[in-house]
Every structure is written in structure tokens, then in C-alpha cells.
Amino acid sequence: MPRIGVAFVLAAGLAAASAAASASAGAAAPPAPRALLQELVELNTTHSYGSTGAAKLLQERFLAAGFAPEDVTLVVPEDQPAKGNLVVRLHGRGRGRPILYIGHLDVVEARREDWSFDPFKLTEDAGWLYGRGVIDMKGQDVAMAVSLMRLKQEGFKPARDLIVAFTADEEAGGDANGVEWLLHKHRDLVDAQMVINPDGGEAGMKSGRRLYVAIQTSEKTFLTFGLEAADKGGHSSRPTAGNPIYRLAAALSRLAQFRFPVHLTATSREYFARRSALEQGQLQGDMRSIGSGSADAAAIERLSAVVETNIMLRTTCTATMIDGGHAENALPQRARATIQCRVIPGESPETVEAALRTVLADPLIAISTITPAKPNPESALTPAILEAVRETTQGIWPDVIVLPEMSPGATDSHFSRAVGIPSYGIDGMFDDLDDGRAHGRDERIGVEAFQQELEFTYRLMKRLAAN
């Protein structure tokens, strides 16, 4: 159908020409964000399907928006054809090294029978947009993509290059993690002064009230130990005191009663100092005293009794799995437990293991490392980044405060921090702190929250790249 083809090319050319008259040469209007979100949600990117299809879809959209092919790079590992990544670059004036935004394209599995709606369709209902990945993190991917296209269309020339990498395999913790792979195999494409990762930030609200935008500067380190108690066993009619199940159970009971010492970082101190503004009464006083370094034992005790604040104060280790014994009528020869630790940045795995050994207090229990810790230093909260986020945030929501945060779980930022690139989790998609649905059923975002996220991302991207 050559005639239709020619007509289409002409029409596209005219549209591009008229766009160029008001903005930069060749740039066209970005796609409607809602339509792009719908396309991404309807492309299943769970672990078994992979992310290459979504990366290709975004590649087409960036090319249609006027980006040069050499600035829109689809990079797919040779041995993992389904785990593709897309790296897009908006050229700046070369004043400083680039800013890299990262966003994963993959999502957690979702079953139709668990959901009120089809998880792989975008459904609007009563002011909400439902679909797998809308908050984690296809909504943010759309915000990054559309913001970069909008900057291109405006003819905005950042001081330094802006790079956005849409990546594979964050959720399954698989062997094709896009951020890790790009940093090690294609460093030239993604090398940067600083990373922004909307997967890590948090815009928290409660009962409809917007409270804070948190800048994630650090993450606790993931570290897993195995415990094993062993014995020669024997007939269950002749019980012994050396029963490995009893020994292990006693040691685990000691661990259950144990708390690691309080270990504050620059981030957690500042977090408590600022967070106190949102609280009242005793809790406010306790948080303030932690922030100013004057907390007494009673304040620490009260904050340690609540999960949410306890995990900000210290390293934690908890039992997650247990097994032992081999027959109904035999003394066990072996009992094993898995201990999962989340370690405050700056604390060594050796220190944690030594503390465990002391508290378990049984030299016959062998301790081994199942998953070693990966170094993950805290990124310094610079006045420049703090001010950029504060100004952007309060330009949209004047009453919302900005605070730094250490997250108890891991994001892709731990790969970029590990290679020495300061990384910040920042996101403006407000979500109810008491109704988190990422990874769960009926994942959703507010229609208005999505609109505001688009504006927040655009403004922050522009602000950071302008300097």
C-alpha cells in the first residue's frame, strides 16, 4: 500500500514541521500519559515474560517524539533476550557529568482470580486507576518518559546530559537485573554523577492528607545466615538433652529477646528530626530527642516497641525459616534455621555475625552465610538535592515536608551506590501509608495522584538538569 504509506509520511512530516516551529527541530508532542500507561500495563512484564516488549514500545515512542536513533538505545543481554533495557539520552551543554534516572519495567506476578479487575488491563474506577505495576512502577516510568519527551519538545537544553534507563528484572531478584548489567557491561551508556530512582522515594499520605516526600538516601543491607545444630541422633524412646531441635529452639528464643544497639546515621537522625513535625505529644518529643541526639532510654524503648520506628533505629535479624528431624520416631540429627538480617549501612557483616554468635550463646550451633551482604553506602543528602526536591514539592503542595529516608528493603539503587554513584529515591506519586498495594492485589494509583506525579517528575527533572 505505497500510496497510503506516502500520505502517512507526508502527514507525519507536516505535523513534525509545525511542532518544530514552536519548539526544537524534529521534536513531536509526547504521547498522552494515560494512553502510554495503559499500553505498558497491558504488556505483561512479569518475570516469565520479561521486559523487552515494553522496552521496544518505549523505544518507538521516543523515536516518534523526535529523539535521534543513536540516543535511544535498546540493550538486550545476548543470553537473556527477554530481559531488554532501554537507555535514552537528552544531550546537555556538557557542564558536569550526566544525571541518570532509572526505572524498572518488570512487575510482580498477579492472578486474575485474586483481583477485582483484570490486573493486566488499566481500569478506572471511582477516581482510581487499577492495574499491575501502576505504583511499582509503570506509573513512574510513564512520568519519566513523558517528562523527558516534554523537555525535548520544548527545546530545553540541560546543563548536563539527562539519561533515563528503563530496566529489566528488579522484582524477581533475577540474574538479568538491568541496572547491575548496564553498570557493568555498558557503563559508557549510563555513567553519571548521580542517580534518581523513583522506585525508592516515597510520597506518604494518611487519611487523604499529603504528609511528606521522602528522599531515599540509603537502604539497609540484605544479609542472610544459616544456623545448624547437629547430633548423632538415636531412638526417640531414649531422649537426650542434646536434641538439636531443643538447642536451636533455645538459641532462637534468645535471639527473639535480643535487640541490636541503636545505630543512627546522618539520614535516620535527620529523618526523626523532620518527621517529628508530623507527630504530636510523646511520639513527637521522642522523635525530636532522637533527632537532636538527646534521647534517653525511655524514649528509645518507646520507639523500639513500634516496628516502623524500631527498624530505623537499628540492624535487625529475624528467623524466617526452620526445619529439622528426619523421622517420627527418631531423635533429630539436624535442625536448621534461616536468619534474615537487615543491616544499617556502615555496619560490617562480621560485626553482625559476631553479635549473633554472642546472643545465640551455643558454640555447637554452626553459623554460615547464605546470602552475603553487598556494600551499599549511604548517599550524602546534599543541600543542592534537598533544596531541589523541597522547591519542587512545595511548588505543588505547599504544606508537604521533605525528609531523608533509609529504606528497610532494597531497590536497584544499591547497585549504583555500590559502584560509587550517589543515588536518591525520589517520587511524587502520593500513596496511602496504611493501604500500600505494591506487589499486592488491586494495585492502584489515584487519577489525581498520577496527574500530579507527571508534573512533579517534569519539574524536578528540569530543575536538577538545569544546574
Distances (CA, A) of 297 to 258, 292, 385, 415, 427: 16, 14, 34, 36, 35
Q: For the CB of residue 133, give the shortest distance to Zn ion in the complex, in Å.
A: 9
Q: Which of residues 180 and 199 has its CB atom nearest to Zn ion in the complex?
A: 199
Q: For the CB of residue 54, give the shortest distance to Zn ion in the complex, in Å.
A: 14
Q: For the CB of residue 105, give the shortest distance to Zn ion in the complex, in Å.
A: 10
Of 128-136, 187-195, 325-333, 400-408, the window that binds Zn ion (rule: CB under 5 A) is: 128-136
Q: For the CB of residue 46, give the shortest distance to Zn ion in the complex, in Å.
A: 13
Q: For the CB of residue 305, give the shortest distance to Zn ion in the complex, in Å.
A: 30
CB neighbour list of residue 393: distance below 8 Å, 6 or more residues apart: 213, 400, 402, 428, 456
Q: For the CB of residue 176, give the shortest distance to Zn ion in the complex, in Å.
A: 16
Query: Restricting to residues 137-176, which ones interact with Zn ion according to CB under 5 A?
Result: 137
Identify the CA nearest to 457 among candidates 194, 72, 164. 164
C-alpha 61/C-alpha 149 separation (Å) is 9
223, β-bridge pairs: 341
CB neighbour list of residue 361: distance below 8 Å, 6 or more residues apart: 251, 254
Q: For the CB of residue 412, give the shortest distance to Zn ion in the complex, in Å.
A: 8
Q: Which of residues 161 and 199 has its CB atom nearest to Zn ion in the complex?
A: 199
Q: For the CB of residue 411, give the shortest distance to Zn ion in the complex, in Å.
A: 7
Of 92-100, 136-144, 212-220, 342-350, the window that binds Zn ion (rule: CB under 5 A) is: 136-144
Q: Which of residues 65 and 107 has its CB atom nearest to Zn ion in the complex?
A: 107
Identify the CA nearest to 313 among candidates 260, 353, 277. 260
Phi, psi for 434 (deg, rounded to 5): -95, 5
Q: Which of residues 161 and 453 has its CB atom nearest to Zn ion in the complex?
A: 453
Q: For the CB of residue 59, give the shortest distance to Zn ion in the complex, in Å.
A: 21
Instruction: Judge contact between 177 and 374, C-beta under 8 A.
Output: no
Q: Which of residues 199 and 405 has its CB atom nearest to Zn ion in the complex?
A: 199
Q: Which of residues 135 and 341 has its CB atom nearest to Zn ion in the complex?
A: 135
C-alpha 277/C-alpha 351 separation (Å) is 34
Cell 531478584, residue? 173
Grid coordinates of 77: 543481554
Of 58-66, 112-120, 130-138, 368-376, the window that binds Zn ion (rule: CB under 5 A) is: 130-138
Of 53-61, 81-89, 192-200, 233-241, the window that binds Zn ion (rule: CB under 5 A) is: 192-200
Q: Which of residues 171 and 231 has its CB atom nearest to Zn ion in the complex?
A: 171
Query: Restricting to residues 302-361, which ones interact with Zn ion according to CB under 5 A?
Result: none
Q: Using CB under 5 A, pick the residue from 106, 136, 270, 427 that binds Zn ion.
A: 136
DSSP codes of every residue in 282-318: HHHHHHHHHHTT---HHHHHHHHTSHHHHHHHS-EEE
Identify the CA nearest to 458 among candidates 215, 134, 179, 153. 153
199 binds Zn ion (CB under 5 A): yes
Of 191-199, 349-357, 384-392, 401-409, the window that binds Zn ion (rule: CB under 5 A) is: 191-199
Q: How many residues of this chain interact with Zn ion, rule: CB under 5 A?
A: 3
Query: Restricting to residues 365-424, which ones interact with Zn ion according to CB under 5 A?
Result: none
C-alpha 275/C-alpha 263 separation (Å) is 18
Q: Which of residues 136 and 378 has its CB atom nearest to Zn ion in the complex?
A: 136
C-alpha 332/C-alpha 386 separation (Å) is 56
Q: Which of residues 137 and 196 has its CB atom nearest to Zn ion in the complex?
A: 137
Q: Which of residues 136 and 169 has its CB atom nearest to Zn ion in the complex?
A: 136
DSSP 425: B
Identify the CA nearest to 339 among candidates 461, 449, 251, 445. 251
Q: For the CB of residue 198, give the shortest distance to Zn ion in the complex, in Å.
A: 9
Interface residues toward Zn ion, by CB under 5 A: 136-137, 199
